[in-house]
Chains A and B, each alone.
Chain A
Amino acid sequence: MNDPVESRNLIDLDAVSRSFGAIRAVDGVSFQVRAGEVHALCGHNGAGKSTVVKMITGLVQPDGGRILINGDESPIRSPQEAQRRGIALVDQELSVVPILTVADNILLGGMDEPFVNRPRAARARVRELLDLVGLADVDPTDSTADLSMGGRQLVEIARALGRRAKLLVLDEPTATLSSNEIEHVFTAVRQVAASGCGVIYVSHRLDEVLELCNRVTVLRDGKLVDTAEAKTIDIDQLVSMMLGDIAPAPVPSLPDAGRGAGRAVRIKDLSVGTRTSGFGLEASHGHVYALAGQVGSGATEVLRAMAGLEPTAYGLVEIGGKRMRLGSPGAAVKSGVSYLSNDRKGDGLFLGLSARENLISTRLRKVSRGPFINMAALRKTAAKLIGIIRIGTERLPEPVLNFSGGNQQKIFLGRTLEVPEIELLLLDEPTRGVDVKGRIEIHNLIRDAARDGTTVIFASTEIDEILDLADDIVTMRSGRIVGRHPRGEVDTELLLAEMTHGRPEGATS
């Protein structure tokens, strides 16, 4: 890659500010992105990254300062205008339409597209774009539904490039991807930058940031901390820039084994549809189990089956010695199962309702006398819970959609805390899209729940998280178990090997 230092600025943020009500989300932030560079934007949830991204892409207008695109300082009034001026956003939530073909998805929403489609010309252009992002073996007429999550993310990047974007904004592009898919995205991003575009790369994964990016801009509490050359700093320095004076909490120490004797949960020959089969696990009280697998490994399906959300699931699940009926979320809850999906906005939180209502949504009975809500008990319980998850009590009446991703996830988890009926806590990607600090807090909360005797089973694609949090690790691939390891007897390499190309248990039979 050519040295971008001499290149011109594609975009220049000059003391940009934006407030929402009383909260100053972004306060006098300045940085520049040059042609040919990958520029990381780092900071905790709530540091102002998303607001900066929204201002660059025209979704939010700054109320102070200016944004110059190629030296032109006219305001970016709408996403359409941003697109016209060469800015393309690849969002952290996938916006590809699975039922359309790859070509249709790439052309979707492009304002330059002719009203009447010219298939042949379009196909040639799509071919070029697919090659550019490394999807050389994908045909434009393939169905997008057949692609992996990583493939879909690459299709989105191709779409952005197809709009002749000069500046590509990637917001958490790897949050949902597995390690080898991330490599493809990296390759694509590097190629895009080498072709003379600028890339703004928003990510919580700091190792990624340092590996991929030329420069890093760090935000904290809406203010600029610094813009640094990625070569000149290491992860520890980056973390301390993001955290400021707050020292990162220590990694939770190993739990004392043997606490809570006896099996709490017994799973035998659990299968979901035809893809996931023969899952078995004997789990004891107070232990945390990880299902380690890449996207598509079947770990998500196993959790959903135990939560009663997979109608095609069959097999044996016993909780406290009692067999649980599969296929009904109500039955699962009655058996003491609580499940947090990996999609907190889709089938997780009640976004339009307040933090208070979300926190008590799983314990309405607890705060009721007969059919009537005891308002005093409700308020007290919610105040206590929001304290446990370390969010200010004054935010209880706010609708959950106002909260940052990390805080939303904490509220989501908060629903299940302090409910003694919960025997088994199922978590799918418990820290997806959550920053370092929020992640430590969430891990501690999960540990606390286990300490109180709950059995925890979580699925994750992130090796760091698995090694940090789990007492026992079950690796999965292609819908089957590959290996089982107690904590301390595995390392990153072995895990990654089993997750990517391990031989499934009973694969020969």
Chain B
Amino acid sequence: MSGATVGAPEQAAVSRGARKTILLVLQVLVALAAIIVVIGAATTEGFFSVHNLQAILASVGFVGIVAVGMTVIMISGSFVSLSLGTQAAVTAIFFVWALKFGVAQAIVMTVVVGTLLGAIQGYAIGGFGANPIVLTIAAVAVLEGLVVVFSSGGTQTPPDDSYTFLNSTIIGLPVTFFVMIFVVACGEFIMRRTRFGKSTYMVGDNRDAAYSAGFPMAAIGAGVFGLAGAAAAVAGIMLGAYNQGASLLLTGSLTYDAIAATLVGGTLVAGGKGSVWKTLVGAIVIATITDLLLLRGYSEGVQIMVKGLLVITVVIVVHLRSQGTRA
């Protein structure tokens, strides 16, 4: 049967012609920007050096690890978690504190705590349909409050230097980078090759359908956010080690950078489509452009603005394209 065309006519907000034009203009802009980046790179002293390449890849590490979790959340249709950066900082503090039990024990304990922190939020979101944005904002407040209660808000310093191997480099790249590669590989495998991963894509594509078909929504929600929490905890461990101590200040712009990487990697905001390794590509693209702007001496303001423009452009292109395939 030849039925490739039939489906309810979509009520498009933008007319077909306008959409094509916008898409074309944006794609030309992206191509132009890419050319500018390449020319900029070629004419910037020190860009094509082993040292700079190492610097770029090294800077991807923390964001890349958190972004794996963010990607899984977005694929599951729960938009984003605004608490992942805070979770990374909180688990960093926990890790530094837990080092007194030994470094291996501390790593395991931290990942378990991180997973639980995420899973609790995910259970509420998946099981009771809590709004992920609101719930994760609340989670930030709760976590920060807890940390202040238990550590009076100061910087936690490590009891010994058993953890310093986490700061070493292998072939010029920090351990964090390899940890990130490992986390990405795990994330990609889980999403593609496990029952949980497949279910996550289905829930993200059509939540109502998954519910009607009897999918365990609470368990899947807990799994998704638990996985993201585990990734944030791994980032927390590396952050704690890197900074030789931890406080809430470590959060920085981690949450938003992870969202940016996920979006630039082409994950659909509405869920159901995306992949962990593409998010890694997104993170590297952002890091490369940031690095270039840095080398050419642009201010931090410009760097942030360019990052924002990049995210907006990609989001619009992805959105228009996904509409195109639905026509």
Contact = CB atoms under 8 A, between A and B. Distances in A.
Interface of A: 18, 20-21, 23-25, 44-46, 48-51, 53-54, 57, 59-61, 77-80, 89, 91-93, 95, 221-222, 307-309, 329-334, 339, 341, 345-353, 357, 361-362, 364-365, 368, 371-373, 375, 391, 398-399, 401-407, 415
A77 B15 contact: yes
A45 B1 contact: yes
A48 B9 CA distance: 14
Q: In the complex, which of the residues A53, A89, A351 has the most CB atoms of chain B within 10 Å of its own CB atom?
A: A351
Contact of A45 (B3, B15, B196, B198): B3
Interface residues of B, number: 41
Interface stretch (B112-120, B177-185, B203-211): B203-211
Given A353-B201, A402-B4, A403-B3, A308 B195 contact: no
Contacts of B215: 330
Interface in B13-32: 15-17
B214 A46 contact: no
B326 interface: yes
Given A332-B214, A347-B206, A351-B206, A23 B5 contact: yes
A371 B194 contact: yes
A371 B195 contact: yes
Contacts of A351: 205-206
B195 A347 contact: no
Nearest to B214: A333
Per CB-CB distance, the 9 closest pairs between chain A and chain B, nearest first, are A404-B3, A333-B214, A46-B3, A347-B208, A404-B6, A78-B15, A25-B5, A350-B205, A329-B214
B9 A54 contact: yes
Which of A45, A307, A353 has most B Cβ within 10 Å? A353
A445 B6 CA distance: 23
B216 interface: yes
A48 to B, nearest CB: 8
B273 A352 contact: yes
Contact of B1 (A18, A332, A349, A404): A404
Nearest to A329: B214
A347 B10 CA distance: 18
B2 interface: yes
B7 interface: yes
B4 A403 contact: yes
Interface of B: 1-11, 15-17, 192-199, 201-202, 205-206, 208-216, 268, 272-273, 325-327
Nearest to A350: B205
Contacts of A357: 198, 201-202
Contacts of A57: 9
B205 A221 contact: no
Contact of B3 (A60, A339, A406): A406
A60 B324 CA distance: 11
20 contacts: A20-B4, A45-B6, A46-B1, A50-B6, A60-B16, A60-B327, A307-B212, A330-B215, A334-B214, A348-B206, A352-B205, A352-B206, A352-B268, A352-B273, A353-B205, A361-B202, A372-B194, A373-B192, A373-B198, A403-B6
A364 B209 contact: no
Nearest to B5: A25
Nearest to A49: B6
Contacts of A308: 214
A414 B10 CA distance: 26
A339 to B, nearest CB: 6
Contacts of A362: 213
Contacts of B210: 350
Contacts of B194: 368, 371-373
Given A60-B327, A77-B15, A79-B15, A350 B5 contact: no
Nearest to B10: A59
A221 B215 CA distance: 38
A347 B211 contact: yes
Nearest to B215: A330
B9 A347 contact: no
A45 B5 CA distance: 10
A331 B16 CA distance: 44
A365 to B, nearest CB: 7
Highest count of chain A CB atoms <10 Å: which of B6, B15, B202, B327:
B6
A373 B10 CA distance: 34
B219 to A, nearest CB: 9
A373 B216 CA distance: 18
Contacts of B192: 373
Given A77-B17, A91-B9, A329 B3 contact: no
A348 B325 contact: no
Contact of A345 (B8, B15, B16, B211): B8
Contact of A405 (B6, B15, B197): B6
A106 B325 CA distance: 31
Contact of B272 (A24, A60, A330, A352): A352
Given A91-B9, A351-B205, 4 more contacts: A18-B5, A51-B5, A373-B193, A375-B193
Given A309-B212, A402-B7, A406-B3, A350 B272 contact: yes
Among A44, A61, A364, residue most surrounded by chain B Cβ atoms (within 10 Å): A364
- Among A48, A77, A308, A404, the one with the most B-chain Cβ atoms within 10 Å of its Cβ is A404
B193 A407 contact: no
B210 to A, nearest CB: 8
A375 B198 CA distance: 12
A476 B192 CA distance: 46
Contacts of B273: 352
B7 A401 contact: yes
A329 B15 contact: no
Given A92-B8, A333-B214, A364 B195 contact: yes
